Every structure is written in C-alpha cells, then in structure tokens.
Structure 1
Amino acid sequence: MSEKNVRKELGTFALLMTGLGTIIGSGWLFGAWKAASVAGPAAVIAWVLGMIATVFIGLTYAELGTMFPQTGGMVRYAQHSHGPFVGFLSGWANWIAIVSVIPVEAVASVQYMSSWPWEWAGRLYDGQELSPAGLLLAGALIIVYFLLNFWTVRLFAAANSAITVFKLAVPLLTVAGLIAAGFHAENFTDHGGFAPHGWSGVLTAVATSGVVFAFNGFQSPVNLAGEAKNPSRSIPIAVVGSILMAGGIYILLQVAFIGAVSPEQAAKGWGGIHFNSPFADLAIALNLNWLALLLFADAFVSPSGAGITNTATTARMVYGMKENGYMPKIFGSIHPKYGVPRAALWLNLAVAFVFLFLFRGWGSLAEVISVATLISYATGPVAVMVLRQRDVANRPIRVKGMGVIAPVAFILASLILYWATWPLTGKVVLIMVLGLPIYLYYQAKEGWTDFIPRLKAGLWLIGYLAFIVLVSCLGSERFGGYNLIPYGVDMLLIAACALAFYFWGIRSARRAGSVREDREEKVRKAWIASL
C-alpha cells in the first residue's frame, strides 16, 4: 500500500479542532499547578513565553506542512533537507515524544479520578504514581483511544471535533467559576512577591512544568497534512490558530489558579502546595460542587481527546518513518477500505503500554516528553530554509519574514532545552542515542557507500546536542548545572552558539539535486522493496 490509499477527508475546521484538541489535553488540568510550584505568580509569564516560542516554531512547520502535505510529515522534513541520518534522529526524537503522550493522557484521567468522593477512587493514585488498579484503568483508556482510530479517519475526526467543543467550554467555565467564587489578588504580590523563585524559575517552568508539553499538540495538523482536503489553506490556520487559542485559555487558567489558592496555602510557599486534582480540589474547597463534577467529567474528556488525537498522529509518524526507510514495510500499510495505518496503530499501542508501566506519574513523564520534543523541533527551522533554496515543485505558501522567524525559532528552542535543567537534558539526549542501532541496521541493509556523506550532513546536529549537554552540565546552578558558567552568560552563550549551529546546519544540507529526484532515487532502492 502507499500514500495513494490515504483518504483526504479533513477540512480546515477538523484540523483546527485536531490541533486544539491535542493542545487542550492533560496540560490544562495540571500545568497551572506545576508552573506555579516552580515560578509562583510569574508562571503567567511562562505561558506567554511558551506561546510565543511555539508560534515561531509552528510557523516553520506550517510552511513545511504545505510544501510536503504528507502523512506523518513531522518525521519526514529533515529527511528531505539533510538525508537519512538527520532524518532518523529528528524522526526518532519526535516519535518518542509523541507516542509517550498517549499513556500520560490516560494517567492524567485516572489521577483526577483519585479525588472522587469514594474510597475505591482514593486507591487509584498514592500521590506519586498509579496503583495496580489505576494502571489497569489507564490501560483500558489507551485501548479505547486505539479503537476510535482503528476503523476510519472520519470516525476519528467526528469524535475529536465533538470532544474539543466540550473541552473548550470547561476551562472557560473553570476560569469564570474560580474568579467569581474567591479571587485573592494579593496572591500575586505577597508570599514572596510576583517571582519568588526568580526569573530562572519562570524559564524552567517553560521547559519542565508542562508548558512546552501543553503546546506540543500543534503538530497534529502537520502530521495529518496528507489527509487534508486543502493543506495550503488549512495547515497554517490550524497550526497558528490552535496555538493562539489554547495560549489565551492557558493564561486565563493560570491567573484563575493563582487567585483561587487561599492566602493561607500560598503563605506556605508555592512549591509546597500539593494537589492530586488541582482545579477540582480548588473547586471543592470553594464549595463549587457543580464545577468539581464538571472537572471530574472533563478529566476523562480532555486527556482522552488528546490521547485519541495522538494515537492517530503517532500512527502517521510510524508510517512516515517507514517511508523514510527506518521501519519494516508492514508499517507502511494503509487499509484500503478505512484509510488508516493499522499496523502502525498496533505498534504504538504496544509502546504506549511500555511507557505506561515505566512512568506512572504525570509530572515526570511530561518533563521527558518536553525535552524530547524540543530536540525534534531543532531541525524544523533549519529544514525550512534549506528547502526554500531547493527546487521544490510544491510551494503553496511562503511565510513572510521566515528569514528572521526560523533563526529565532531555533534559538528559542535551544534556550528552552537548556532551561529544562541538568541532568534531565543529558538523560533525554541519551534516549536519542539509544535509537541509533535501528538506523545502523537499515544503513547496513542498504550498504555503507553513502554513510560518510550522510554523517557529514548530520555533524552539525551531533555537535549541537553535545554542546547543549555540555553547557547544561557546566552552566548556572539555577538550571541544575555546576555553576562554572555564570547565570546570564550561559544564556548568551546558548543563543550565540545556537545561531552558529543554525547556519552550519543550513550549509550542511546535502546537495543531491531536487527533492523530487531524491524521492525517485529512494523509491528505486532495492533494499526498501525487500523489507
């Protein structure tokens, strides 16, 4: 089977709802609490910074998505610009980041259930991770996500659009209810001030407290570009529109959360506030029982909507990686009747269960997802500028100012990756390295003739990741480092060197003719046909 079996049935509204439905997942249920624990009231600024950075990054992928309206597009652009080695590293990072979102959304639903007013519910979560009963329930939710994607694209789109409308209403009602019931404006200035942990706390909140994780869903419309009716119009609207709409909601939720916390709780320090179900617990404390019930219901709907969408997009990623040559042929099979990559769905179901049992709490897994995502984002700004210089036949839009947007996006992604703190940055880069044996296996099947040129095209990315890890280790203690590079100087160093790596990446792009010729060359490869 091939891309010709993919059904082009998704319109602009469906894609916008897909992006928004993925963004408004478990991030809004926990993100405000986690960000406040790290940054205090200044967490509001963290959401603004996260939204701005994601818009810059998203614009690069919006142009790529219209240039290559392919299924699983996020794992394929670096392949077109720099060849298989960079393509694999980028695709692997992106796939790991997104496939692990599926179990974290199920975990979020069960974690909220633990605050239900029944004894059995309290046994689902112990304050740190899910119990065996909680894991069983989360596993059942993952299977539901799988089944909703197994039959048809239309069923997925219809279910997601309906869920997203509900998901938009509940956060807005939460904001209104909390502000009306008890808003303590003094929380923004008392109890250590607006930024009790300094501005480094704000920056760390962007990277590790669910902010980057929350905005990650913008790439869903890009991964579904191959199924869009009119990608040149729909993809930019869906990407930018979903980021801005969700960003406004997240900022309002953060303001409402800070104001709703009782001054007695805030006086103990923002880092000491603990909730199993943050907004629901606040609603119960304020006697908003109607809101608590609505939140308990939405704790299934919001994460489940994101889980359903990510189940769809990760299957398209596996399909895209197979098209790049890194997965067995079976994962490129598109069902001729239903138009979905069923074998890829089965693979992601298995991987989701592995992540579910390895990471049983929302916070720790959200951190790993955020850093892995940022690594994959680094290739987008470079790829879009490389492919602008190529003879790409399909170029329906050119985002104005991309010459500035792309390097700014690369610098912002690099800074957020650094803010994720040491040793988390090093651990996630190590996860990226663990995927290399898969690439080497397929390289061996093809032969080693082209290995050195492909490696040379990716030296900039290897150097970039090594540089980030080194500065993270030696950098300011405010970001977990050994303080050999002082605070302030560390971020200037990251920004300046990131710009150098950005231009190195552009110059490193392979000169193998047009993208169309590269595709034809790949199709002719006998080793792909023999998989």
Structure 2
Amino acid sequence: MNPSDIAHGWSHLNFNSPFADLAIALNINWLVIVLYADAFVSPSGTGITYTATTSRMIYGMEKNKYMPSIFGKLHPIYGVPRQAMIFNLIVSFIFLFLFRGWGVLAEIISVATLISYITGPITVMTLRRTGKDLYRPLRLKGLNVIAPLGFIFASLVLYWARWPLTGQVLFIILIGLPIYFYYQAKAKWKGFGRNFKAGVWMVFYLLAMMVISYLGSDKFGGLNVIHYGWDMVLIAMVSLVFYVWALKSGYQTEYLKDAKKINSQLLNGQSEAAAGKE
C-alpha cells in the first residue's frame, strides 16, 4: 500500500474484498489464501444445505397439492426428491441469468429468506392457541412480548434492505399467487375460502411494505415522502396491525390434527421408555 493511497483518508480506499485486499496490502500472503479458501468453502456449505432443504420444500408442496406429482417422487435407494432438486437447479440458473453477479444474488436471497422469518412469530403464537394441548418439552416464557417484537424487528430489517431491492423481492414472491390460484382451481376450490381468508393478510402485508419502502426515507432508497424516523414508527405500527390480523386468521387445520396424532405417539413412546427404565 502506497502512502498516497490514504493521503485523503481511509474513506477514499475502495476494497472489493476488504479483508483479503488489506492482507495483500500488508503482504500477509498466508492470510489471503485462508480468506479466499473460506470464501469458497462457506458458500458451498450453505449451498449444500439449501440443496437439501429447498428440494424438500418442493416435495412438501407437492404433497399439499401445489406442485405437479412428478416432484413428489423419492429415489428408491437414497430417498431424496431428485426431480425437485433438478427443478431447483433450473430455477437457480434463471436467477443467475436475471440477477447477474454474486453480490446482487446474495442480496435477493437474503431478503427473501428474511420474509420467511416474518412468519415465525405468527406461527408460534397461533400454535399456542390452536395446539395448546400438544406435548412439547420446551415452553418459551414471555412469548407474548417476544413474538410481536420479533415481527416488528423483522419488518424493520426488511425495510432497511432498501428500495428497489425490497420491491423486487416482494414482487417475485407475489408471482407465486397465480400458481396458488391455478392449483386451487384444479382442486375445484376445495377449502379455498377459509385458507385464503387465513393467509390474505400476508398478501396485503407485502404490498404495504412495498408501498412504505417506496415512499419511505431516501436513506433507504425511497422517495422521502415519509421522512426518516417517522418511516420506522409507521413500520412498527403497521406491523402490529398485521400481527393482530394474522393471529386472528389462524385456525386448526387438518395438518395440525395429524400432528396431534404423531405427538401422542411420541408422548406414549416416551412414557413407555420411562416405565421400562423403572
């Protein structure tokens, strides 16, 4: 590193890979090798994890009658949904074509993953009401406070992702609605009314977040119609409204009834095991 590079301050330095570039500047070659190796290994581990989880998600969607039957087949020996894995590979290629560059793709995936976390507080609080008789070894105290705060913070992080990234990701997610309607029509709209009523809050939530992000502070890429500070207050208030709406929309589905049967079997198995030890 030449002294002239920092003559006007550290802020004028532009490192694409800050740690690696700094190590190169300091001639710490072994650290450079470690950092670049880690940059390859770490995403690979994440990729392997997502290869398994996303294929199972597609497999589960087929079992719920929202994907073609070909994705519900398992390999006779290894028990993995290979067709679902191939489908995910094709989708990955499409994303690489549309969002060229690792940085852009990482941003898209991060925001999309964040949206899945938003459903967590809703799910656990709904289960507290609809599945209160289920046996569970762990019961988190203070969840009545933690859950709404978690929903608000997740909404804020989604907003902080900046426009237009938030709008792009939310639009991609809303593209799934036509697919949902197609399979509902294929099932002759069986149970559609109740299911849609229970989940329509999510559609309006995503639209509301998109509008607020677009009109929000210019610090987060918006038009600055809603000024900095007030935008986050608005996010918190809107999040609480949707949180209450979502909780009131939840109901006991047939899947929960199946879960109760499995839960009872596990509880009986533990009781028998405890009795056997005695």
**TM-score interval, smaller chain:** 0.7 to 0.9
Aligned residue number for residue 287 of structure 1: 27
The CA distance in 1 between the partners of 2:60 and 2:9, in whole Å, is 47
What does 1:188-227 correspond to in 2, within 5 Å? none
What does 1:107-506 correspond to in 2, within 5 Å? 273-391=13-131, 393-506=134-247
Give SS of 2:227's match.
coil
Give SS of 1:438's match.
helix
The CA distance in 2 between the partners of 1:399 and 1:365, in whole Å, is 35
Matched, 1:515 2:256: yes
Please, what TM-score do these two structures have when normalized by structure 2?
0.83
Aligned 8 A contact 2:217 2:226 in 1: yes
Aligned 8 A contact 1:390 1:514 in 2: no
The CA distance in 2 between the partners of 1:263 and 1:406, in whole Å, is 51
Q: Aligned residue pairs: how many? A: 260
Amino acid across the alignment from 2:237: A
Aligned 8 A contact 1:512 1:518 in 2: no
The CA distance in 2 between the partners of 1:396 and 1:265, in whole Å, is 59
Distance 1:473 1:298, change over 3 A: closer
- Where structure 1 has 5 or more consecutive residues not aligned to the other structure, the ranges are 1-260, 521-531
Q: Deviation string for 1:174-230 (max 9, x for gaps)?
A: xxxxxxxxxxxxxxxxxxxxxxxxxxxxxxxxxxxxxxxxxxxxxxxxxxxxxxxxx
Q: CA RMSD in A?
A: 2.7
The CA distance in 2 between the partners of 1:314 and 1:323, in whole Å, is 14
- Where structure 2 has 5 or more consecutive residues not aligned to the other structure, the ranges are 262-278
Identity of aligned residues (%): 59
Distance 1:429 1:297, change over 3 A: closer
Amino acid across the alignment from 2:160: W
Give SS of 1:287's match.
coil
* 1:263 positional shift: 8.4
Question: Highest relative contact order (Cα 8 Å, sep 6+), 1 or 2?
Answer: 1
> Which is further off, 363-372 or 330-339?
330-339
Aligned 8 A contact 2:130 2:251 in 1: no
Answer with 1 or 2: which has the greater Rg.
Answer: 2
The CA distance in 1 between the partners of 2:147 and 2:16, in whole Å, is 39
> Which is further off, 456-465 or 378-387?
456-465
The CA distance in 2 between the partners of 1:364 and 1:267, in whole Å, is 32
Amino acid across the alignment from 2:203: I
The CA distance in 2 between the partners of 1:514 and 1:317, in whole Å, is 16
The CA distance in 2 between the partners of 1:410 and 1:492, in whole Å, is 14
The CA distance in 2 between the partners of 1:339 and 1:262, in whole Å, is 58
* 1:505 positional shift: 0.4
* 1:268 positional shift: 5.3
Aligned residue number for residue 57 of structure 1: none
* 1:481 positional shift: 1.6
